[in-house]
Structure 1
Amino acid sequence: MDNKVCLALLILVLISYVSLVDSKHDGYFRRLAGLRIRNNILTFSLFKETHCCLKCLQYGDCHSVNVHEKEGTCEINRFGPQDSGAITEVNRTWSLYYKSNAEDRELMLRATAGIEISVRDTWLGRVSPPPTQDTCIAMATGACSTHYRNPKVDLWNTLYISQVILELYRDGSRVMFMVFNGTGSDLESWVSSFRLMTSSWAMLSPSSNFIYFSLKGDQPCSRIFLIQQNYGGCPKDAGWFVVLDPTTSDCCLGQWSDLPNKPKFVYSTTDNVAIYQSGDVDYADVLAVFVKYSDH
C-alpha cells in the first residue's frame, strides 16, 4: 500500500472521529458559536471546520480550535473552554470547537467577599470588574481582589446546561452547596425552590416555607441569592443563605446585615434555618457557581 493510500485511509479514520457539530453538541468535537480562546499557539489560513479539527488531532497538546468561517482562519489552542488558563472572549465572528472529553463541570462565577464590588451586577454583566488574577480561579482566598466571570455566561441561553451548582468556601474548604436543575433556565431563574435538587442542608427542601428564594432577592435591602424563611423584625430575621451586596444604606441599621466590607456570604451552619443575628451563621470567603452540561 503506497503512502497516498495510507494517507487517504488515515483521513477517513480521522473524519470518523470528527463531527461538524451544531448546537446540539454531538460528535467528537463540540461547538460553541460566538466564543474564542485568545491564547492560541498556532494559526493556519484557508481552513474549514473539519480541516481545523483534523489539525487539532495532529497536535498532542491541542484541546480546542478557533474557526473563523468567513476568513478561513484556524487557531490551535492548548486550552479548552473549561481550563482555568484559557483567556476567552465572546466574539460572534468565531466558533470554538473543543474535544468532548472535557471536565465534568465548568466554573461560571467566582465571587470574592469584602471587595466592595456587586456580585449581582457582575453576574448580570452590568459591571466589568478589574482583570482577574490567577488566584481568582482557585477556591482558596489567596490574593484575589476581584470577581471572576466566565465570558460564556453571556451565552447561557444557547448552552445545554443540565445542572447549576452553587458552593461556598471558607479557608479553601467547601462549607455549603446547592444543586439546581438548570434545564431551560436563564441567568436568574435557576435560583428557585422548584429547581432545587439537593443541598448541604438536610432540612431544606422545595416544600419548605420561604418568603424569598431567588437570585434577585430583596433588592431594596441589597440582599441577593436570598433564601429566607421569615422577616420578624431584624433580630428575628431567619433564613438559610444570603449575599449582602455592597450598598450605601441598610435595612437593619446596627443589626445583622449592617456590616462593613461587603459583599458578605452569610449561611446557616446548622442543618436547618438559622436566625441571622445568632451564633448559628458564618461567613464564607468565596462564592462559586458551576454548571454541568447535558449530552444533547
Structure 2
Amino acid sequence: MFRLKLNSISRDNYHYRHSVLFINTGKRRLGSTMEIVKCQHILKLIFILLQCPFYMKADCSRKQFEVLPPGYNIFMQIGVKPFYPPRNATDRATCFTFCALMTFCHIWTFDNGNCHVFHSMKDKLRVEKLDSPSSTTYYETEQDDKWLKVYFVKRGSGFHTGDSFLGIGTYENWGPVKCTRILCPDLFRSNLIDNWNDLPIKKVKLIARKDNNTVVRIVFNGEGSTKENWFSMSRVLESPWTDLKTAPCNVFTIRNSSVLFITSHNILCLLTFLFVCALLWIHRNFYISSTHGGCPYDSGWLMVTKPIHYCSYESNGLYPQILHSGNPTYTRWSTGYEWAEDFSIFISFK
C-alpha cells in the first residue's frame, strides 16, 4: 500500500532544499519533492520540471529518468492496445510516479494531460517527431548517466542472444520463458530496438560483467546505424583491446547464421567434415573473431555461444556462454579466455 504526499518547497522545512541542478550546459529549475512510503522503506522523489530529469531513490532501488531529445516522442502503435491503459495526469510528477512503481516501465510520455506508461517488453511502440511543449517522453537511465538499457541476458539462461536481440521469432522461440508481470531475471529486450532507425541514436555501448564488475566495455558510433549494423569494426570508438583495430579480423557479427570462412588451416577439415565445420560458424553470436584454424587455433576477442557447439571451450552444458579475451589483445580460445555473468546493450541519444 502506497501513501503519496506532495509538498511545496519551503525554506523553513528541513525536508526540502533550494538548489540549482546542472547537467552539461543546461541549468535545472527548482521543482517539488514527493515522498512515497512503502512498508519500512521511504522513497524520495525529486521532480524537476520540463527538460529536467526525474529521480527516485530508495534503500534498495533507484530510478532516474531523462528527457528524450526535443522533437521525439514515444507512443503506442496505432490500433494496438497498450499493456498499461493511458491515465489522466495533471502534471509530469504524477505520470512519473505511475511509471516508477512498475517494474517493466522504463519509458513514459506526458502528452497534454494524458499519461502514457509503456511496458518496455510487451508494448508495440512507435517514434513520432512532434516538437510540442505539451508532449515529452522520458526514459530510464542508470548510474547518473544518459544511457538507456535496451537489452540484457544472463549466462546460462538458455536464451538465444542473436535472435532475441534482433527480434527474430518470439519469446517462445528464444528460450525458456521465465518472465512474470513483475519479474524477468534472465532476459530483457526493449521494444525500442524495433524503432532503432527512427531514434536519434548517438552511441551504442556493449557491457559484459562478472561479480558486478565490468570486464568488457565496447562503445560504438550509433549515428545512422540500424539494429543490425551498429555492431561492426568500422563503428568501434572504444574497446578494452589494443589490437582490435590492427590485428586480423575475419568475423564481426551479431548473428553468425550462415558464415563459413575458409583459411589455410581448415581446408582439410572442410574437405572431410564440411557439415561439422559449418556448425562451428553457424552458432556463435556477438562474435568478434581474429582467425579460424580449427578449435586448437581459433582466436578472437568476444563470443556468445548457442546450444549447438563444436569446440570444447563452448561445451560446459550452459548457454549462452559469454566468452572474451581477458588480455589486452586477442586470445586463442583453446588456451585461455575469461567468461562473464551477464551481457547488456545500451544506447545514448544526440
Same fold by TM-score greater than 0.5 = yes
Aligned partner of 2:216 in structure 1 is 176
Which residue, out of 88, 91, 106, partners 1:56? 91
SS of the residue corresponding to residue 259 of structure 1 reads coil
* 1:119 corresponds to 2:156: no
Q: 2:305 corresponds to which letter in structure 1?
A: L
Q: CA deviation at 1:203?
A: 2.5
Aligned partner of 2:338 in structure 1 is: 282
TM-score by length of 2: 0.59
1:234 paired residue among 286, 295, 301: 295
Identity of aligned residues (%): 21
1:251 equivalent to 2:310? Answer yes
d(CA) in 2 for partners of 1:163 and 1:93? 18
Matched, 1:293 2:349: yes
Letter in 1 for 2:239: S
- Partner Cα separation in structure 2 for residue 34 and residue 172 of structure 1: 34
Instruction: Identify if the C-alpha distance between structure 1 residues 230 and 293 changes in structure 2 by more than 3 Å, giving closer, same or farther.
Output: same
Match of 1:164 in 2: 204
Distance 2:347 2:82 in 1: 19
Q: In the alignment, is residue 97 of structure 1 matched against residue 156 of structure 2?
A: no
Aligned position for 1:217: 256
Aligned equivalent of 1:5: none
Deviation at 1:185, TM superposition (A): 1.3
Q: How big is the shift at 1:57?
A: 4.3
Q: Counterpart of 2:157 in structure 1: which amino acid?
A: I
Structure 1 pair 93–104 and aligned structure 2 pair: CA distance change class (3 A): closer
1:194-247 per-position Cα deviation (integer Å, ceiling 9, x unaligned): 001111122322x43111011123644301111111012211111001111222
Deviations 1:146-183 (A, max 9, x none): 31101211111111111110010112111111001111
Secondary structure of residue in 1 paired with 2:123: strand
Contact residue 110 and residue 289 of structure 1 kept, 8 A: yes
Deviations 1:62-119 (A, max 9, x none): 684365xxxx982265xxx7xxx96761156999832589750100100111122211
1:266 equivalent in alignment to 2:316: no
Give me the whole-angstrom Cα distance separating, in 2, the residues matched to 1:209 and 1:65.
Answer: 46
Please, what TM-score do these two structures have when normalized by structure 1? 0.68
1:291, distance to aligned residue in structure 2 (A): 0.4
Aligned to 2:219, the other structure's residue is in SS state strand
CA contact (8 A) 2:92 2:110 kept: no
Q: What are the ranges of 5 or more consecutive residues in structure 2 without an aligned counterpart?
A: 1-49, 52-67, 100-107, 259-278
Q: Which runs of 5+ in 1 are unaligned?
A: 1-16, 19-23, 45-51, 137-143
| Structure-to-structure mapping, 1:129-168, within 5 angstroms | 130=177, 132=179, 144=185, 146-168=186-208
The answer to whether the Cα contact below 8 Å between 2:121 and 2:189 also exists between their aligned partners in 1 is: no
In the TM superposition, what is the alpha-carbon distance from 1:190 to its structure 2 partner? 0.7
Counterpart CA distance in 2 for 1:116 and 1:277 is 23
Q: Aligned-pair distance for 1:192?
A: 0.5
CA–CA distance in structure 1, aligned partners of residues 321 and 255 of structure 2? 16
Q: Counterparts of 2:149 and 2:285 in 1: how far apart (Å)?
A: 20
Q: How far apart are the structure 2 equivalents of 1:215 and 1:33?
A: 28
Deviation at 1:61, TM superposition (A): 4.5
Closer, same or farther in 2 for the Cα pair 1:90/1:269, shift >3 Å?
same
What residue in structure 2 maps to residue 10 of structure 1? none
Aligned partner of residue 152 in structure 1, secondary structure = helix
Contact 2:109/2:138 (<8 A) preserved: no
Name which structure has the greater RCO, CA cutoff 8 Å, separation 6+.
1
How many aligned positions are there? 238
1:65 aligns with 2:122: no
